[in-house]
Chains A and B, each alone.
Chain A
């Protein structure tokens, strides 16, 4: 099992490995972990895989291998994939097969990557546990060999589990309020959410457009950077995609592999400044995570690779309510298109589902358009999705908009200003926090919606402010045998500094976190199986 894209490339080009072996290995693991993790909802057809494998092998032999030639990558099921069913974890889209690729997918294919399948997720990305899916819950691979089952986190839980258990080399997720970073932390992999606007959202099924950010789940910082280098950059199909990345001052001639080079370069020139927001110390925080956070901060300071300053993000306490008003408002609008008329679930059954379960037309007497919409949407969406649509509809309604939507926007600005103050006035390079208040929790243990929402308390601010943020696994909990992660959040469009800081924490502290974590990881049953 490969845990490095660089190694895959060396072995493929060096003739030690064939694309066939690599892909077959992944497909085998996908099959093997199907029951225990439920990470994938669709796997690429074997005929299509054959075609792609052949092409990669031909290119490798012909000496014209592309940057990610033959690298198996899994994609969250909310990215449009040409010819591959795309459900967003919803009954509403259970029968929907797109005929176009999302920009992220198209760029990966263009770079030679092989899209191996689609990963399970919370319906329309609404959740923090990947248990709210028409395809059933994702189970954290770290549960294997334990008596209890743990959640993989969410909403990109399938992608996190797939990377952790070696079902693919890397995976694409999407991060609206922490949906890449939190599952990455629960499954012990790297989860990177780039700055908003640096990766195209075209073809990503919208949850909350102003927060949705495509992100990468990978085994290492290098791998995350390698994939990010491919998918980042201006896309004319997304009006919110920026043409100013990477910032001109960092680019001399060649913008290729910008992030990879940044990670590799140890020349930071000066000690990085790590900001520690004291406002993040919440009473719900797990003690081992708190200790890890404290130790890492102390080591940074003591080893002299950086310095640590306390910062104040005072409006952070309003982040959660602000986020849930904005995200649900946008969701109530973005999900209005799902009416079953042009595609997707329809009670009248014009669009028979693949499993042929939509035979309710006889029992239902649909007379009006209103009835058709009501039935399609009542049955097509789960309770959690309906709850959020209702919440957002309320927040945008005539009588409430000023008190909810508008206030939430104002708070969003204040939160963003707090970060700007830390970066620009206190000269902080990155903000160091835990990714989530706790490690993975038990499946079926934490199902109260409000309590679930609290899970996102540490990750949400980066989405509200559009900042790049990354979750890195540093330790395995001695008591729970579950991964513990910290999160680094950087200045907007300074993704390279963020990755350099992450590299510093992983590789250049006295505790040698990266090395030790790898050893423990490789001792886990799901790795060895």
Chain B
């Protein structure tokens, strides 16, 4: 299922539900998580309907996010998020082997150097591109860049970790702080503070299900650069986590520091989650780590399920174990993976093979200059520049290429008067619906910018009606590669805009209905609609209604009985 064009447009019924702070809905466990908007997340929703009207609420009121237990006690959720995003770079973090990127199905162990496989005597050499990408990400997240950072070794033994340690940044990470302003439903905003971003190596992949007796190891991924983006424990609802991940994913893609595709494992996420009674704000509950979830949707569901489980335990007086849990989509519940006590002592220490990373202000400024328009700024701009609704702008900025496509069509051939109102529905309704259905990205749309512009010009000139246009764009999306005009002419669906044809038709119909002209002249102006209807009938709906109206008006006035 595509999440590329995922929108959270909340229907009115849900808004009401949310405003009354009483989100106790009798559920399976006589307990229900407050946040039921997820059900309404239809992945393929592209309507250009008006912006939802917002009620004035205190967006910082924490009680809005309380979860109520079966007994009606309010609880607060406390969540921290660690995102691992694979860095978009040609080569790995410390070796010159090619990065796998999202290349699926490349031959196992075909992109492994002596360094990646930790052969005796090999040494890591930092890839400056990865540094640049981390700095760029930090700047885009409004964080401070460390001019001095250090690489540390984190030790554990595993078959897909060839060195026996991971090179990471434990004490002095390259990026510190940062923030993400979440746009939530109901026009709520929430500021999430970031702790830091650290550069580190990815591990290889262990494949357990291809041989009954062995584990297979693929080191293609070993040594790929990761940015670990660590948030503070600022999240108070699963909705916030979902919004955060979507916005972060969106940002990383638009500044091109990560492809951030979760299905491909380019973006992975660990969740630290605890609950506490709403009055107990001075201390945290015991936290549980959730791992191995493969989509934002399952992360949101996992948080809801885990919150439910923890609240039940607190209510029943059972102490919560510090542990790592996974999420089972089939049962929609979390399950035990390992307890914290089993964890190894990672024995962090600065990697003696790598000198501290020292960055100059000039370098940081050079990277800053490469950051284009960020999604939030882009959104504000297109709203003012094109008079778009917030919702339409939100849909467009979901992928920076959407905006590029939209603006390029508008300006194609140097024209400045193409109408946003004509164009927009064809993009965000017809085309996005089709793309969703095909699970395709806009970069692969079969309707190029040129063809879309030509098509829009035909609609605008009245050559075809908007309604016919929908059919034509449908054909173009589904593989008709001819120019729009050729398709229209082939089908014979162009509007009759030829004045002489319409003029003759008008005169002919007027001739046949002298009685109606009399009625019209005596003041029964609605008879005019009868004439229009007749003309449309005779031209099988292909005549241009504006033209028909103006011609008819003229002819009826001139007509001599």
Tell me if A398 and B345 are in contact (CB < 8 A): yes
Q: Which of B120, B158, B163, B354 contacts A239 (CB 8 A)?
A: B354
Tell me if B164 and A337 are in contact (CB < 8 A): yes
What is the CA–CA distance of A244 and B164 in the complex, to the nearest angstrom?
Answer: 32
What is the CA–CA distance of A278 and B157 in the complex, to the nearest angstrom?
Answer: 46
Report the minimum CB–CB distance from A454 to chain B (whole Å): 25
Tell me if A333 and B159 are in contact (CB < 8 A): no
Contact partners of B348 in chain A: CB under 8 A:
396, 401
Tell me if A333 and B123 are in contact (CB < 8 A): no
Contact partners of A88 in chain B: CB under 8 A:
120
Contact partners of A339 in chain B: CB under 8 A:
157, 164
**A206-B121 contact in complex given A240-B353, A333-B164, C-beta closer than 8 Å:** yes
What is the CA–CA distance of A396 and B162 in the complex, to the nearest angstrom?
Answer: 20
Tell me if A239 and B353 are in contact (CB < 8 A): yes
What is the CA–CA distance of A343 and B118 in the complex, to the nearest angstrom?
Answer: 10
What is the CA–CA distance of A77 and B450 in the complex, to the nearest angstrom?
Answer: 66
What is the CA–CA distance of A12 and B126 in the complex, to the nearest angstrom?
Answer: 44
What is the CA–CA distance of A100 and B114 in the complex, to the nearest angstrom?
Answer: 9
Contact partners of A206 in chain B: CB under 8 A:
121, 353
**A202-B121 contact in complex given A239-B355, A397-B347, C-beta closer than 8 Å:** yes
Contact partners of B354 in chain A: CB under 8 A:
239-240
B interface footprint on A21-57 (CB within 8 Å = 1, 0 otherwise): 0000000000000000000000000000000000000
Q: Which of B117, B121, B123 contacts A79 (CB 8 A)?
A: B121
Say whether B352 faces chain A, with CB atoms less than 8 Å apart. yes
Considering the complex, which residues of chain B in the window 107-155 have a beta carbon less than 8 Å from any beta carbon of chain A? 114, 117-126, 153, 155
Tell me if A239 and B349 are in contact (CB < 8 A): no
Report the minimum CB–CB distance from A241 to chain B (whole Å): 9
Interface size on B, residues (CB 8 A): 30
Tell me if B352 and A209 are in contact (CB < 8 A): yes
Say whether A450 faces chain B, with CB atoms less than 8 Å apart. no
* Closest Cβ neighbor of A197 among chain B residues: B355
What is the CA–CA distance of A45 and B159 in the complex, to the nearest angstrom?
Answer: 35
Q: Which of A204, A236, A342, A397 contacts B345 (CB 8 A)?
A: A397
Q: Which of A102, A338, A405 contacts B121 (CB 8 A)?
A: A102
Tell me if B164 and A396 are in contact (CB < 8 A): no
Considering the complex, which residues of chain B in the window 12-47 have a beta carbon less than 8 Å from any beta carbon of chain A? none
Q: Which of A342, A373, A405 contacts B162 (CB 8 A)?
A: A342
What is the CA–CA distance of A464 and B114 in the complex, to the nearest angstrom?
Answer: 29
B interface footprint on A88-109 (CB within 8 Å = 1, 0 otherwise): 1000010010101010000000
Report the minimum CB–CB distance from A121 to chain B (whole Å): 14
Considering the complex, which residues of chain A in the window 54-102 have a beta carbon less than 8 Å from any beta carbon of chain B? 78-80, 86, 88, 93, 96, 98, 100, 102
**A204-B121 contact in complex given A333-B153, A336-B157, C-beta closer than 8 Å:** yes
Considering the complex, which residues of chain B in the window 300-350 have a beta carbon less than 8 Å from any beta carbon of chain A? 345, 347-349
Report the minimum CB–CB distance from B148 to chain A (whole Å): 16
What is the CA–CA distance of A338 and B119 in the complex, to the nearest angstrom?
Answer: 9
What is the CA–CA distance of A236 and B128 in the complex, to the nearest angstrom?
Answer: 13
Tell me if A401 and B164 are in contact (CB < 8 A): no
Say whether A330 faces chain B, with CB atoms less than 8 Å apart. yes
Tell me if A237 and B123 are in contact (CB < 8 A): yes
Tell me if A342 and B118 are in contact (CB < 8 A): yes
Report the minimum CB–CB distance from A398 to chain B (whole Å): 5
Tell me if B164 and A240 are in contact (CB < 8 A): no
Contact partners of A239 in chain B: CB under 8 A:
123-126, 353-355
What is the CA–CA distance of A210 and B153 in the complex, to the nearest angstrom?
Answer: 14
- Chain A interface size range: 35 or more
Say whether A329 faces chain B, with CB atoms less than 8 Å apart. yes
Report the minimum CB–CB distance from B358 to chain A (whole Å): 12
Say whether B165 faces chain A, with CB atoms less than 8 Å apart. yes
Tell me if B125 and A237 are in contact (CB < 8 A): yes
Contact partners of A102 in chain B: CB under 8 A:
121
Report the minimum CB–CB distance from B363 to chain A (whole Å): 17
* Closest Cβ neighbor of A209 among chain B residues: B352
Considering the complex, which residues of chain B in the window 343-383 have a beta carbon less than 8 Å from any beta carbon of chain A? 345, 347-349, 352-355
Contact partners of A338 in chain B: CB under 8 A:
120
* Closest Cβ neighbor of B115 among chain A residues: A237
Tell me if B352 and A86 are in contact (CB < 8 A): no
Report the minimum CB–CB distance from B280 to chain A (whole Å): 30
What is the CA–CA distance of A239 and B128 in the complex, to the nearest angstrom?
Answer: 12
Considering the complex, which residues of chain A in the window 328-378 have a beta carbon less than 8 Å from any beta carbon of chain B? 329-330, 332-333, 335-339, 341-343, 369-370, 373
Say whether A216 faces chain B, with CB atoms less than 8 Å apart. no
Tell me if B347 and A396 are in contact (CB < 8 A): yes
B interface footprint on A380-398 (CB within 8 Å = 1, 0 otherwise): 0000000000000100111
What is the CA–CA distance of A332 and B345 in the complex, to the nearest angstrom?
Answer: 13
What is the CA–CA distance of A373 and B352 in the complex, to the nearest angstrom?
Answer: 25
Say whether A201 faces chain B, with CB atoms less than 8 Å apart. yes
Contact partners of B157 in chain A: CB under 8 A:
336, 339, 369-370, 373
Most A CB atoms within 10 A — which of B126, B155, B159, B349?
B349
Tell me if A405 and B349 are in contact (CB < 8 A): yes
Say whether A501 faces chain B, with CB atoms less than 8 Å apart. no
* Closest Cβ neighbor of A99 among chain B residues: B114
A interface footprint on B493-517 (CB within 8 Å = 1, 0 otherwise): 0000000000000000000000000
* Closest Cβ neighbor of B353 among chain A residues: A209
Contact partners of B122 in chain A: CB under 8 A:
202-203
What is the CA–CA distance of A203 and B159 in the complex, to the nearest angstrom?
Answer: 23
Q: Which of A330, A336, A401 contacts B352 (CB 8 A)?
A: A330
Contact partners of A337 in chain B: CB under 8 A:
118, 120, 162-164
Report the minimum CB–CB distance from B120 to chain A (whole Å): 5
A interface footprint on B398-442 (CB within 8 Å = 1, 0 otherwise): 000000000000000000000000000000000000000000000
Contact partners of B126 in chain A: CB under 8 A:
239
Contact partners of A393 in chain B: CB under 8 A:
347
Contact partners of B120 in chain A: CB under 8 A:
80, 86, 88, 93, 96, 98, 205, 337-338, 343
Tell me if A336 and B345 are in contact (CB < 8 A): no
What is the CA–CA distance of A140 and B215 in the complex, to the nearest angstrom?
Answer: 48
Residues of B within 8 A of A (CB): 114, 117-126, 153, 155, 157-159, 162-165, 215, 217, 345, 347-349, 352-355
Nearest 8 A/B pairs, CB to CB: A336-B164, A209-B352, A210-B352, A396-B347, A203-B121, A337-B118, A80-B121, A205-B120
21 A-B residue contacts at CB 8 Å?
Answer: A80-B119, A86-B120, A201-B123, A202-B122, A202-B123, A203-B122, A209-B352, A239-B124, A239-B354, A333-B164, A333-B347, A336-B157, A336-B165, A337-B163, A343-B119, A373-B157, A393-B347, A396-B347, A396-B348, A398-B345, A401-B348
Known A342-B119, A369-B159; further 16 A-B contacts with Cβ < 8 A: A80-B119, A80-B120, A80-B121, A98-B121, A202-B121, A208-B352, A210-B352, A237-B123, A237-B125, A336-B165, A337-B120, A339-B157, A343-B120, A396-B155, A396-B348, A401-B347
